[in-house]
Structure 1
Amino acid sequence: MLRKRRTGLVATTGVLGGVLAVTALGGTSIAATGTDDAGNHATSPAQAQAKTPAPAQTPAKQGAVEASEARIEITPGQGSHHVGVDDPVGVTVGKGTLTKVTMTAVATGAEVPGTVSADRTSWKPDGPLKRATEYQIAAEAQDAKGRSASNNATITTVSPANDFIGHLSPEDGSTVGVGMPVSVTFDRAVDDRAAVQSEIQISSSSGQQVVGHWFGDHRLDFRPETYWNPGSTVTVTLTRDGIQKTVTFTIGRSQVSTVDAKTKQMTVVRNGKTIRTIPISSGSAEHPTYNGQMVISEKYSHIHMNGASVGLNEKNGKPSYDIKAVPHAMRLTDSGTFIHGNYWGADSVFGKVNTSHGCVGLRDVRGGGNDRQPAAWFFDHSLTGDVVIVKNSKDKTRLAPDNGLSDWNMPWSEWVAGSATG
């Protein structure tokens, strides 16, 4: 069975089963709650004291010696937990210069290499930190009169338990239709949507503006205002925890097919020209097909279709249909709408009668082995990401934009309003 999945892994530090996987997109602001890790254990009295704000900067000597004017700031602040391993970490000084900075892993004593700026007013580590690690930062500085000041902080980096896995479609290196959005689904809820969205940058060689939209707290899709320009290249850059992952895919030719449920014909338009009109049979009066813009998300040479899987059963409890090998099936919605081959209907049905349970059926043969059949032709000439529009169906239900890849049914102003980054 040929299957084009619409899920792939966002970015990774390792390889699992031949697919890229990353514990990426974690960080200070999107840490999970209620999970014990190196920075989230039960608090002892000593730890409680350590979590209090750092005291005022301390001059090296007290008494007659005046306090230093140098003011040292450590980022993030004392007691910070769930710090992303590539979050901004460093030391700056005002009204003075740094004389010494050390950053060490508390458990091992290993020192973190770092670099002081040329003017000696800032310091930062040379690379990403380790996960689930407690670090101590100690800094010393002098003001213009040579008076010393010091400051220190203890921070803890995020553990893998507080990271997110993001599954990205389409796949790297793929060629897709003009309607394919970039879709990222997360394995658990994202609290700080702006932080996560800002780590995903998308550009197109066409110059089209691309905007993200959140469907709840588990899914983030990106698309331009209108379909992608044919032949353009889309680049997705994900940056997190010292890792930069780039996914690139190509937009193929433009193909938009329009199913008219009233005339029972589908018009296939490629690059602005009609290349074929195909008789179809769509949803019956009892089970009308959705109206709206849908996108092919998966392709199957054969698929088992059972009415019980979408809640369609007879009064006796048996599924309304149970077809073991439906040929040339392409998914249009997550709720179960397909455009597929139909070998069990009489030839007189196509172009004449709407008989399905909501899918769009094209004439085919059992097994799908005849390439001259309309279903085989359409399957062979379609890409994931191609648009299929249904109109004049008697269905009155609004097709939800997050039902499959139906993003294009949302007005642009509403789409932009769903972005977490403005």
Structure 2
Amino acid sequence: MITARNRRTALTAAAGVLGGVLAVTALGGTSSAATGGNATDPGAGTAAHPTSQAQVDQTPAPQAGKATAQDVSDARITITPPQGSHGVGINDPVSVTVSDGKLSKVTMTALATGAEVRGTLSADGTSWKPDGPLKRATKYQISAEADDAKGRSATANATITTVSPANDFIGHLSPANGSTVGVGMPVTVDFGKAVGTQAAKAAVESEIQVSSSSGQQVVGHWLNDHRLDFRPQNYWKPGSTVTVKLDRQGVEKVVTFKIGRSQISTVDARTKQMTVVRNGKTIKTIPISSGSDEHPTYNGRMVISEKFRQVHMNGATVGLTEKDGKPSYDIKAVPHAMRLTDSGTFIHGNYWGADSVFGKVNTSHGCVGLKDARGGGDSSTPAAWFFDNSMVGDLVIVKNSVDKTKLSPDNGLSDWNMPWSQWVAGSATH
């Protein structure tokens, strides 16, 4: 088996078991960029947030699109249980299967520790399963690749969480301890087990205190039964330090991270320009191409949650296919890609579009495209500059798109689209 890139950078820091009731593991969210990645997992589509609109990769120019369609793999990978499954039994059947192809790489990794789960590939190469039971209260990333009879590759990813012991709540915390992030980065705790009642939410929330050296008031909000986020009314103050204290029955764990400089980039879908403002001053204006009228980009405030120097994007993973069932696009190495939503919105490099597209025409399936070179090796391109000058936690604001869909706050790190009064009302302790 060959290790694939995790959807989020897994760290070994663990916040510990607090009195046997609340355990929190520090996960990714650092400002370091991954060198590769894959956006073809169900989490990049509507499966992660069924009520959210899927916004995905920019489509190639028509000529490139035709050539690309001919290279699409016939292999179809299925991961069981599917993306986002919670409460998976440690002995439940977990498997990866493929039709019309053979598996070439499968990995299953515990996100908190990076430990790889041993597994066995079937003799005919069509299925894979772990060799033994899984660990309780653990979030796993499964990554798979397969080739069809013509050697064309397909990929798939899924994140699942195993069942917690009775009366335990397991939370995965981001950003990571010791990291430096942008001013828009919320504190996020994802629970492997649903926290269903208001009393339970209040008990769990009371065990987590978030404060800032800036003195800003920080309030938690339950986005759903599995996710509790914390943020101030306005963006974090640049240069401040945020402290997360986890306290249960006298056992305390402290996680801290720093806020870097302020960078807020505004994409105007009407003028097709992006203005990058750092610490209150405009430092660059970049021509862009955003979503077409048929597939418009979300309006609203989004936060960069992941960075990939290259990422594989496939339209079929978010339900975008042609009449013949082939993906609307399948681009194996999209350069300088940064995730803005869980449903698949990225801001990324585009090497297949003509120069006349950027700043002139909106052509994508919902992403924001910047001019780039194939392979991303030209540091002089707008996409390379923006990638190198951005960090996880930076804000990207889109305005004047024709899209009328309200961006859900739990779609990625889109917390800032919720008014403060509504945010406070979603706390179980206020």
TM-score range, shorter chain: 0.5 to 0.7
Code of the residue aligned with 2:382 in structure 1: it is P
Q: Distance in 2 between matches of 1:25 and 1:230?
A: 35
> Counterpart in 2 of 1:281?
289
Q: Distance in 2 between matches of 1:227 and 1:339?
A: 21
Matched, 1:163 2:168: yes
Deviates more, 1:198-207 or 1:243-252: 243-252
Pick from 219, 244, 247 the counterpart of residue 252 of structure 2.
244
- CA contact 1:24–1:163 (8 Å) conserved in 2: no
TM-score by length of 2: 0.64
> Counterpart in 2 of 1:307?
315
- CA contact 1:5–1:297 (8 Å) conserved in 2: no
- CA contact 2:16–2:253 (8 Å) conserved in 1: no
* Offset at residue 26 of structure 1 (A): 5.5
> Counterpart in 1 of 2:157?
none
> Counterpart in 1 of 2:194?
189
> Counterpart in 2 of 1:355?
363
* Offset at residue 310 of structure 1 (A): 1.2
Q: Counterparts in 2 of 1:34-183, with a 5 A limit? A: 160-183=165-188
Q: Quickly say closer, same or farther: Cα 1:362–1:4, change in 2 above 3 A.
A: farther
- CA contact 1:298–1:384 (8 Å) conserved in 2: yes
RMSD of the alignment, in Å?
Answer: 2.3
Structure 2 SS opposite 1:348: coil
Matched, 1:333 2:341: yes
- CA contact 1:289–1:395 (8 Å) conserved in 2: yes
- CA contact 1:164–1:187 (8 Å) conserved in 2: yes
Unaligned runs of 5+ in 2: 23-86, 90-163
- CA contact 2:286–2:382 (8 Å) conserved in 1: yes
> Counterpart in 1 of 2:262?
254
- CA contact 1:6–1:169 (8 Å) conserved in 2: no
Code of the residue aligned with 1:166 in structure 2: it is G
Q: Quickly say closer, same or farther: Cα 1:2–1:384, change in 2 above 3 A.
A: farther
Matched, 1:401 2:406: no
Q: Quickly say closer, same or farther: Cα 1:189–1:240, change in 2 above 3 A.
A: same
Deviations 1:231-290 (A, max 9, x none): 000000112355321110000000000000000000000000000000000000100000
Pick from 422, 425, 429 the counterpart of residue 414 of structure 1.
422
Q: Distance in 2 between matches of 1:209 and 1:21?
A: 23
Q: Quickly say closer, same or farther: Cα 1:24–1:323, change in 2 above 3 A.
A: farther
- CA contact 1:332–1:338 (8 Å) conserved in 2: yes
> Counterpart in 2 of 1:90?
none
Q: Quickly say closer, same or farther: Cα 1:300–1:365, change in 2 above 3 A.
A: same
Q: Which structure exhibits the higher relative contact order, with contacts defined as CA atoms closer than 8 Å and separated by 6 or more residues?
A: 2
* Offset at residue 315 of structure 1 (A): 1.3
Q: Distance in 1 between matches of 2:20 and 2:221?
A: 19
* Offset at residue 219 of structure 1 (A): 0.2
Q: Distance in 2 between matches of 1:310 and 1:25?
A: 41
Code of the residue aligned with 1:20 in structure 2: it is A
Q: Distance in 2 between matches of 1:342 and 1:332?
A: 16
> Counterpart in 1 of 2:14?
20
Structure 2 SS opposite 1:347: coil
Q: Distance in 1 between matches of 2:324 and 2:17?
A: 47
- CA contact 1:24–1:166 (8 Å) conserved in 2: no
Pick from 253, 256, 269 the counterpart of residue 277 of structure 2.
269
Q: Counterparts in 2 of 1:224-243, with a 5 A limit? A: 224-240=232-248, 242-243=250-251
Deviations 1:39-92 (A, max 9, x none): xxxxxxxxxxxxxxxxxxxxxxxxxxxxxxxxxxxxxxxxxxxxxxxxxxxxxx
Structure 2 SS opposite 1:399: coil
Pick from 354, 374, 379 the counterpart of residue 371 of structure 1.
379
Deviations 1:175-217 (A, max 9, x none): 1000000000000101300000000011100000000000111
Q: Distance in 2 between matches of 1:172 and 1:5?
A: 18
TM-score by length of 1: 0.65
> Counterpart in 1 of 2:47?
none
- CA contact 1:181–1:221 (8 Å) conserved in 2: yes
- CA contact 1:178–1:255 (8 Å) conserved in 2: yes
Q: Distance in 2 between matches of 1:333 and 1:412?
A: 21
Pick from 187, 207, 225 the counterpart of residue 217 of structure 1.
225
Structure 2 SS opposite 1:352: coil
Q: Distance in 2 between matches of 1:317 and 1:22?
A: 47
* Offset at residue 321 of structure 1 (A): 0.5
Q: Quickly say closer, same or farther: Cα 1:339–1:406, change in 2 above 3 A.
A: same
- CA contact 2:303–2:412 (8 Å) conserved in 1: yes
Identity percentage of aligned residues: 77
- CA contact 2:239–2:258 (8 Å) conserved in 1: yes
Q: Distance in 1 between matches of 2:350 and 2:208?
A: 41
Q: Distance in 1 between matches of 2:7 and 2:254?
A: 19
- CA contact 2:263–2:394 (8 Å) conserved in 1: yes
Unaligned runs of 5+ in 1: 10-17, 36-158
